[in-house]
């Protein structure tokens, strides 16, 4: 009976003696502790495995935001906010094709501004991941072009900043050679541009530059893409690099060779570039930049030398638009320095030389600059009509400025310096208004733009008129005082006569204070 009772106790028999009972209890407690430890270890292991699985299947919040961004702009903003390279690697590895294309498009757009090696390397990394996927023609073109442009940018940064980036030359060369014969023209074009750039700039590191080879490469590229702005910009960039970092004499040999072969080019853009190079060589030979830099250092003698050389260059039949533009910039400096006699001699020389220029376009440009410059100078001391129309078409009458000093600013929405100066005047006018000073802003853009509206809301103390080619919004102000260069500040006295036609921006406040005190 007792044995049946013991067997029915769940298969375990309790010890009968006190010692045995105590020993059994101790062992039972140890067993419970061991079971608890194993249970705890199991829970921790399960948690770690779960976290690992979760991390492999779920992106971090920053990565998730970048991959699910609604627009390329948002994607760029989110990607640029990712500082951790681990998270960026997570983005590259975890994104699907559509997401990565969105990210790459955004990175391409932000790459128009100056970007770092790291940011360009990110473009390369995203592009490499996409190239491992199945892409249609347009997707492949976008991806390959982005990779080529990014590698080229990294190469330029290393070259200009003397940074050692391992294998960048070899990587760029190998990648461009891989795609230079691609059937997709957009890919092939960028590959040829990159290959030309790396081959030409790497030649600068050799003791003996192969000028014939460089010239052949330039002519080949310009011949294949005669009206391509990027090609022209790249050729200009390579020539500038030789001029600044290698040897001006070598640069002049290259540009002379190009000039000898200009008959090969029918494109106006390519020909303009060749003429520009010839102009630069002419200016370098004349040491024109040095004369301008020394104009103040050498005082009156330096100014006479600068004027003499300006007139000599203005008489040169082979002068191009680049030379004419540089001489005009010097004339503007004479104007700003109130050396009107010197300015007048330059514009008179333009006027007298127009029939001697070989290029009719150059003659037309010189004639226009002469007419505008002489017209501005003739305005000094004379009355000017400041009537005009505002953005909404309502009229501002010149009579509203009677008895007041007027600061007339010629500006453009595309010229950052003129916009910033306009904003600074908006603060200054609060002090000037009570003293009888007004500001009239004459816009020189050909079309009105809605960007202006926000500006007007902030600048209630300034009068605006517009120079519209079709509706003549400026009502003749731009005809009376032509201005291609902005910002330009003209000062009009209380009696309505022009006191100064080109005040240096930093001198405007002092000039106005001087006029008010006299």
**pLDDT tens digits for 395-444?**
888 899 999 999 999 988 888 898 888 888 877 888 888 888 999 998 88
CA-closest candidate to residue 358, choices 266, 278, 453: 278
pLDDT for 52 beyond 50: no
Burial of 112 (0-12, 13-18, 19+ CB in 10 A): exposed
pLDDT for 83 beyond 60: yes
And the tokens for 455?
A: 């500006």
Q: In CATH, what number does 388-517 get?
A: 3.40.30.10
Mean pLDDT, residues 41-69:
60
User: Nearest 5°: phi and psi at 90?
Assistant: -60, -40
Task: Using pLDDT thresholds of 50, 70 and 90, give the confidence band for residue 250.
Answer: confident
- Please give the Cα distance from 118 to 131 (Å, whole number): 20
Mean pLDDT, residues 228-254:
88
Long-range CB pairs of 115-121 (<8 Å, 24+ gap) are 115/153, 116/157, 117/154, 117/157, 117/158, 117/163, 117/165, 119/80, 120/150, 120/151, 120/153, 120/154, 120/157, 121/150, 121/154
pLDDT by residue (tens digit) across 347-384? 999 999 999 998 899 999 999 999 999 999 999 999 99
């Amino acid at each position: 009976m007792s044995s049946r009772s013991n067997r029915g106790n769940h298969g375990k028999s309790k010890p009968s003696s006190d010692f045995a009972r105590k020993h059994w209890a101790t062992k039972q407690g140890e067993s419970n502790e061991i079971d608890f430890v194993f249970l705890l270890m199991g829970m921790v292991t399960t948690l770690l495995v779960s976290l690992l699985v979760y991390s492999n299947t779920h992106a971090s919040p920053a990565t998730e935001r970048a991959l699910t961004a609604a627009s390329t702009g948002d994607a760029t903003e989110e990607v640029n906010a990712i500082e951790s390279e681990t998270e960026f690697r997570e983005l590259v590895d975890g994104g699907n094709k559509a997401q990565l294309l969105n990210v790459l498009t955004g990175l391409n757009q932000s790459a128009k501004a100056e970007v770092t090696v790291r940011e360009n390397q990110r473009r390369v990394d995203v592009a490499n991941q996409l190239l491992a996927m199945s892409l249609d023609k347009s997707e492949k073109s976008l991806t390959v072009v982005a990779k080529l442009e990014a590698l080229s940018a990294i190469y330029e940064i290393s070259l200009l900043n003397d940074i050692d980036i391992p294998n960048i030359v070899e990587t760029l060369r190998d990648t461009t050679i891989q795609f230079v014969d691609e059937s997709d023209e957009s890919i092939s074009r960028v590959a040829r541009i990159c290959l030309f750039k790396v081959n030409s700039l790497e030649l600068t590191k050799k003791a003996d530059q192969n000028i014939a080879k460089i010239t052949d490469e330039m002519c080949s590229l310009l011949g294949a893409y005669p009206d391509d702005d990027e090609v022209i910009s790249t050729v200009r960039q390579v020539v500038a690099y030789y001029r600044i970092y290698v040897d001006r004499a070598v640069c002049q040999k290259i540009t002379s060779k190009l000039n000898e072969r200009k008959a090969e080019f029918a494109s106006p853009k390519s020909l303009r570039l060749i003429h520009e190079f010839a102009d630069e060589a002419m200016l370098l030979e004349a040491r024109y930049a040095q004369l301008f830099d020394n104009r103040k250092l050498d005082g009156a003698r330096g100014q006479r030398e600068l004027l003499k050389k300006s007139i000599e260059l203005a008489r040169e039949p082979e002068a191009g638009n680049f030379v004419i533009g540089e001489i005009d910039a010097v004339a503007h400096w004479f104007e700003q320095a109130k050396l009107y006699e010197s300015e007048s001699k330059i514009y008179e020389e333009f006027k007298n030389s127009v029939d001697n220029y070989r290029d009719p376009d150059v003659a037309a440009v010189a004639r226009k600059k002469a007419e505008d410059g002489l017209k501005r100078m003739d305005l000094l001391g004379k009355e000017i009509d400041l009537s005009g129309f505002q953005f909404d078409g309502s009229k501002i009458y010149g009579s509203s400025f009677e008895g007041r000093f007027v600061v007339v600013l010629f500006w453009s929405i595309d010229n950052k310096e003129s916009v910033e100066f306009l904003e600074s005047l908006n603060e200054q006018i609060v002090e000037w208004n009570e003293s009888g000073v007004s500001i009239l802003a004459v816009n020189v853009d050909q079309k009105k733009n809605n960007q202006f509206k926000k500006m007007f809301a902030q600048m209630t103390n300034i009068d605006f008129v517009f120079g519209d080619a079709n509706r003549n919004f400026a009502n003749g102000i731009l005809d009376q005082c032509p201005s291609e260069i902005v910002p330009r500040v003209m000062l009009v006295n209380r009696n309505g006569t022009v006191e100064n036609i080109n005040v240096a921006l930093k001198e405007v406040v002092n000039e106005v204070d001087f006029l008010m005190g006299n």
